[in-house]
Chain A
Amino acid sequence: MTLKQNDARVKTPIANRPWFIYVVLSPIFFVLLGYVIYPLLGVFRDSFFVNGSFSLAYYKRIFNTSGMTNLQAIWNSLYISVLSVICCGIVGTGLAFLLESFEFPGRKALKAFAVIPMALPSLIGAISFDFLYGSTGIIPRGLKAIFGLSAVPFALKGISGVLVVHTFTMYTYFYLPVSAALRNADTSLEEAASGLGASRRQVFGRVRLPMLTPSITAATMLVFMISMASYTAPLIYGIDRTLTMQIVLSRTNGDLGMASAQSTILAMISVFFLVIMRAYEGRRNYSGVSKGSAIHRKEVKGRFTRALTVAGSFLAVLFLMLPIFVIILISFSANGKWTTQVLPPVYTLNHYVDLFTQTKFLLPIKNSLIMSLAAAAGNVVFGVAAAYFMSRRKFAGRGIVDKLIMLPWSLPGTVVGISLIVAFNIPTIFSFGQVWVGTYYILPIAYFVRHLPLVYRSTCASFAQTDASCEEAARGLGANWFFGFFRVVLPMVAGGVASGAILGLVQGVGEFVASILLYTSKSMPISVAINQQMYSFRFGTACAYGTLQIALVAVLLLISERLKGDTASGPI
């Protein structure tokens, strides 16, 4: 050992050289570059070019005070979003407090049904509310008939309709985190505060509310973003002057540059709120600071009040379930026979028979299933690979990769749709030299891009819970990388992969917003078919499709629940 070997650098295996990780990651970078960065930059670029030369014409038109259409659209989008946040906040937080602080008969049922709106595809939610509470809706007409009124006593229309639908479909974004925070809240903190002499009001204001602010703030941002992105509810209630509606209108009129400019504005608002939300998320999180006794629910006493709570819970559950009931009911009604009656007068099974026997009706179902599955499969491959490298390897640029994966999720479907049109209405290397707009491929790609982070996030969560040294243990015991990955690493995160993939399928089956911009007659998905049937007043057929959509979502969610119960390690 007299020989000094200090200068001889060890030739590490190629797989362990610092640059090798980037070779392995190149497919991930390729996907992000081609389907996220390039399309979005395209939108941004197109918004500044008129006939090939730089111009601010689109923005001048948008902010032109004489035309007002676009300014009004921005204003409407903003104020619908603010009101949606307020309504969702009141309903969601209120319900969370009600269900977590009081014990009453009917509580369990209400709790179980409170998350139903989450499972409802957006188009179904909006349509069912129109059927139920619109000016020709079942409830207003029913009340008019029962009480012999000359006109319907109330009807949801316009912006109020949009708000109610938003509240119904989005209050869960407040309800779930707030009730989780309440459940996990450490009552010993509140006891400590009262022990220090705080009154009940002070305990609430100084201890309990501050503990809830992180979840409430995050929910506020989320609901605001989703409301800004909402397209379905304004479409059903005919509010043309929102940003999303204007974007689709510009696109329909063939003015892609204008659609790009409007998309740029909408995207910037969304990203702005995303940035605030994430900054806030990181800074204030009290969960798990202390572990204490669970919250003690106060029992509701007195026969009268108890009876009242039963009735109230029943009504609330009924209200939550009515949208699904009405869709199922109308799915059996004959098309064109329901005019001024309260309920559809003629019933038939024909719609379902048609759906499964006529290729023309079957096609959208087949399309939705195949395209969602294809997108979910892509998401699994991409998400697992990205999550593995992000969780288990260190490399420069991790932060950017994470943000890029999250970006499409935070962008309105309309913006994603427009960006893909801008990107792929010419041949590119990312579309393998093809024009994808107007072909079948663009929709699965859109689903893939929109749901990019679903598998990624849930798999990352699984990775965070599993021990990194298990992979090393496998290697130490003689397993090569492939054996270690497929027999040890993958089985350990399988729960997370599955739940992410199922969530992707749920979203894909119900997808409407990007679909309406990108579909062709060959790739028409269920939601677009529903919309078309509605436009031609074939409500029965539309609702038969809707029922099928709900059933698909329900089956997927059941599988997801079952998986969660089965895996011992527990995925998320």
Chain B
Amino acid sequence: MADVFLRHLRKSYNGVNAVEDADFHIRSGEFFTLLGPSGCGKTTTLRMIAGFAYPTSGAILFGDRDVTALAPNKRDIGMVFQNYALFPHLTIGENVAFGLRIRKVSRADQAKRVARALDMVNLSGYEKRRVHEISGGQQQRVALARALVIEPTILLLDEPLSNLDAKLRDDTRSEIKRLQREMSITTIYVTHDQAEAMAVSDRILVMRSGVTQQLDTPQGVYMRPRNRFVAEFIGKHTLFDSKVLSVHGDMVTVALKDGTKLTGYNRNAAEGVSFTLGASVLAAIRPECFEPAGDREENILVGNVLHCEYTGMSAQYLVFTQGKELRATLVGYLPDASDIGRPMRFCVDTQKLYFLPAEDAQ
């Protein structure tokens, strides 16, 4: 268990920065996730922490130990790979015992700890099996047991669920979270799946093109994105250009391009938003920010219904408005098949309207 410090970490390949100025602190015992689309530098960052890649500049510290240029085998890490990387020429038991063997643990102790680790991932008695004899989900759990049995300082997980099918993914996800909590081991998790990240993380670092976008709790990145990228990638916000029309106390009213007026609270705004009259801001709306309009007149957005799916719990609309497509989820609402192709009124919840600075619209 240890704190991990990344200090102004930069990695460039042939002059192109894969990771730029990554500078953050992962707290001891924390479940920390690196989240971003493929090619955003999250795996490179993880590989630098593991020691499979070396930063161009900057430093990595485990506690007060500088490990920046340390070989991976001297870092005392446990890593789980996307494709599990189990050794096909060894049995399950031998795979799990591999790290113990290198650490010169006695044979008797090895067997005991391997059995315990396999029990932990619900694979008791699988010691003698071969890698190709067990399923993908079981392989992933063996990889987890192999990483945890050496009681590493830090657990690193590189997209560990991406090769599993949806059902197994959810189960394994909670399994990983449970083990992490029980062992309270510092864990760094890499994924491109925002729902996965939200579900397991204590804190999430959102990355894009090697640059840190936001470091926050799941609620933070979801409810209060710092910029357009995080807003669209995490909360599935739809963003509209707008101008500040009036400010009354903590209430702000903005006008969209076609004159539609929307009102929200000035506290629901990212850093850098200026609510001076006539200023440009981005109005951000998540799908669940809508309510059925009924006969209300305020905060109404009108759009053409392109498509509607009824899931029982909610009705999910795909609406065309202000020149773009928008998703709106109405909980507990019974849609009408004849809605499709017609204009429909949606009410935006004043409490949930969010504002982003307009400069961010690159």
| Additional pairs, 13, CB under 8 Å, beyond known A1-B5, A476-B73, A568-B88 | A5-B8, A5-B59, A10-B68, A13-B54, A470-B87, A473-B143, A476-B50, A476-B78, A477-B99, A478-B73, A478-B76, A478-B102, A479-B73
Q: Looking at chain A, what size class is its interface with the partner chain?
A: 20 to 34
Q: Which chain A positions have C-beta within 8 A of B23?
A: 1
A149 within 8 A of B: no
Q: Which chain A positions have C-beta within 8 A of B150?
A: 477-478
In whole angstroms, how far apart are the Cα atoms of A475 and B72 in the complex? Answer: 6
A503 → B minimal CB distance (Å): 22
In whole angstroms, how far apart are the Cα atoms of A473 and B88 in the complex? Answer: 12
A-B pairs, top 5 by smallest CB distance, nearest first, are A477-B99, A473-B85, A469-B85, A12-B54, A476-B79
B349 within 8 A of A: no
Which single residue of chain B is at the shortest CB-CB distance from A1?
A: B7
In whole angstroms, how far apart are the Cα atoms of A483 and B102 in the complex? Answer: 9
Q: Which chain A positions have C-beta within 8 A of B10?
A: 6
Contact B57 A7 (CB under 8 A): yes
B89 within 8 A of A: yes
Q: Which chain B positions have C-beta within 8 A of A10?
A: 54-59, 68-69
Q: Which chain B positions have C-beta within 8 A of A11?
A: 69
A8 within 8 A of B: yes
Contact B98 A474 (CB under 8 A): yes
Contact B21 A6 (CB under 8 A): yes
| Contact residue among B51, B58, B83, B98 (Cβ-Cβ distance under 8 Å from A477) | B98
Contact B7 A568 (CB under 8 A): no
C-beta contact mask, B8-48 vs A, less than 8 Å → 1, else 0?
A: 10100000000001010000000000000000000000000
Contact A5 B57 (CB under 8 A): yes
C-beta contact mask, B140-155 vs A, less than 8 Å → 1, else 0?
A: 0001001100100000
A172 → B minimal CB distance (Å): 32
Decide yes or no: A13 and B69 within 8 Å by CB, A478-B150, A568-B88 being known contacts.
yes
24 pairs, A vs B, C-beta closer than 8 Å: A4-B8, A5-B58, A7-B57, A9-B56, A10-B56, A10-B57, A10-B59, A467-B85, A472-B81, A472-B85, A473-B81, A473-B86, A473-B143, A474-B87, A475-B51, A475-B71, A477-B150, A478-B74, A478-B76, A478-B99, A488-B87, A488-B89, A492-B88, A569-B89
A16 within 8 A of B: yes
B167 within 8 A of A: no
C-beta contact mask, A13-29 vs B, less than 8 Å → 1, else 0?
A: 10010000000000000
B352 within 8 A of A: no
Q: Which of B130-183 contact A (CB under 8 A)?
A: 130, 132, 143, 146-147, 150, 156
Q: Which chain A positions have C-beta within 8 A of B333?
A: none
C-beta contact mask, A207-218 vs B, less than 8 Å → 1, else 0?
A: 000000000000
B37 → A minimal CB distance (Å): 21
B77 within 8 A of A: yes
A339 within 8 A of B: no
B103 within 8 A of A: yes
In whole angstroms, how far apart are the Cα atoms of A568 and B87 in the complex? Answer: 12
B89 → A minimal CB distance (Å): 4
Q: Which chain A positions have C-beta within 8 A of B99?
A: 477-478
Q: Which of A457-499 contact B (CB under 8 A)?
A: 466-467, 469-470, 472-480, 483-484, 488, 491-492, 494
Residue among A8, A10, A470, A476 facing the most chain B CB atoms (10 A cut-off): A476
C-beta contact mask, B110-133 vs A, less than 8 Å → 1, else 0?
A: 000000000000000000001010
In whole angstroms, how far apart are the Cα atoms of A569 and B73 in the complex? Answer: 27
Q: Which chain A positions have C-beta within 8 A of B103?
A: 478
Residue among B54, B89, B103, B132 facing the most chain A CB atoms (10 A cut-off): B89
Q: Which chain B positions have C-beta within 8 A of A477?
A: 73, 78, 98-99, 102, 146-147, 150
Q: Which chain B positions have C-beta within 8 A of A466?
A: 88
In whole angstroms, how far apart are the Cα atoms of A33 and B354 in the complex? Answer: 67
Decide yes or no: A492 and B76 within 8 Å by CB, A472-B81, A478-B103, A568-B130 being known contacts.
no
Q: Which chain A positions have C-beta within 8 A of B130?
A: 568
Q: Which chain A positions have C-beta within 8 A of B143?
A: 473
Q: Which chain A positions have C-beta within 8 A of B77?
A: 476
Which single residue of chain B is at the shortest CB-CB distance from A494?
A: B89
In whole angstroms, how far apart are the Cα atoms of A475 and B77 in the complex? Answer: 10
Q: Which chain A positions have C-beta within 8 A of B68?
A: 10
In whole angstroms, how far apart are the Cα atoms of A16 and B98 in the complex? Answer: 25
B62 → A minimal CB distance (Å): 14
A490 → B minimal CB distance (Å): 10
B136 → A minimal CB distance (Å): 13
In whole angstroms, how far apart are the Cα atoms of A469 and B143 in the complex? Answer: 12
Q: Which chain B positions have C-beta within 8 A of A12?
A: 54, 69
In whole angstroms, how far apart are the Cα atoms of A515 and B55 in the complex? Answer: 53
Q: Which of A515-572 contact B (CB under 8 A)?
A: 568-569
Q: Which chain A positions have C-beta within 8 A of B59?
A: 5, 10
Which single residue of chain B is at the shortest CB-CB distance from A569?
A: B88
In whole angstroms, how far apart are the Cα atoms of A6 and B55 in the complex? Answer: 11
B94 → A minimal CB distance (Å): 10
In whole angstroms, how far apart are the Cα atoms of A488 and B98 in the complex? Answer: 10
In whole angstroms, how far apart are the Cα atoms of A9 and B21 in the complex? Answer: 13
Q: Which chain B positions have C-beta within 8 A of A4?
A: 8
A12 → B minimal CB distance (Å): 4
Q: Which chain B positions have C-beta within 8 A of A6?
A: 8, 10, 21, 57-58
C-beta contact mask, A96-119 vs B, less than 8 Å → 1, else 0?
A: 000000000000000000000000
Which single residue of chain B is at the shortest CB-CB distance from A11?
A: B69
In whole angstroms, how far apart are the Cα atoms of A7 and B8 in the complex? Answer: 10
Q: Which chain B positions have C-beta within 8 A of A472?
A: 50, 52, 72, 79, 81, 85
In whole angstroms, how far apart are the Cα atoms of A569 and B83 in the complex? Answer: 16
Decide yes or no: A480 and B73 within 8 Å by CB, A5-B7, A467-B83 being known contacts.
yes
Q: Which chain B positions have C-beta within 8 A of A467?
A: 83, 85
Q: Which chain A positions have C-beta within 8 A of B55?
A: 10
In whole angstroms, how far apart are the Cα atoms of A252 and B38 in the complex? Answer: 65
| Contact residue among B5, B21, B72, B89 (Cβ-Cβ distance under 8 Å from A476) | B72
| Contact residue among B73, B88, B156 (Cβ-Cβ distance under 8 Å from A475) | B73
Which single residue of chain A is at the shortest CB-CB distance from B143?
A: A473
| Contact residue among A13, A16, A479, A491 (Cβ-Cβ distance under 8 Å from B102) | A479
Q: Which chain B positions have C-beta within 8 A of A1?
A: 5, 7, 23
Q: Which chain B positions have C-beta within 8 A of A491?
A: 87, 89
Which single residue of chain A is at the shortest CB-CB distance from B57?
A: A9
B224 → A minimal CB distance (Å): 24
A333 → B minimal CB distance (Å): 50
B218 → A minimal CB distance (Å): 25
Which single residue of chain B is at the shortest CB-CB distance from A493?
A: B89
B329 → A minimal CB distance (Å): 39
In whole angstroms, how far apart are the Cα atoms of A400 and B271 in the complex? Answer: 55
In whole angstroms, how far apart are the Cα atoms of A473 and B96 in the complex? Answer: 11
Which single residue of chain B is at the shortest CB-CB distance from A4?
A: B8
Decide yes or no: A16 and B88 within 8 Å by CB, A473-B79, A478-B99 being known contacts.
no
In whole angstroms, how far apart are the Cα atoms of A6 and B76 in the complex? Answer: 26
Q: Which chain A positions have C-beta within 8 A of B21?
A: 6
Contact A16 B54 (CB under 8 A): yes
Which single residue of chain A is at the shortest CB-CB distance from B103?
A: A478
Decide yes or no: A475 and B85 within 8 Å by CB, A5-B8, A6-B10, A13-B69 being known contacts.
no
In whole angstroms, how far apart are the Cα atoms of A11 and B59 in the complex? Answer: 10
Which single residue of chain B is at the shortest CB-CB distance from A9?
A: B57
Q: Which chain A positions have C-beta within 8 A of B79?
A: 472-473, 476
A459 → B minimal CB distance (Å): 15
Q: Which chain B positions have C-beta within 8 A of A474?
A: 87, 98
In whole angstroms, how far apart are the Cα atoms of A499 and B85 in the complex? Answer: 24
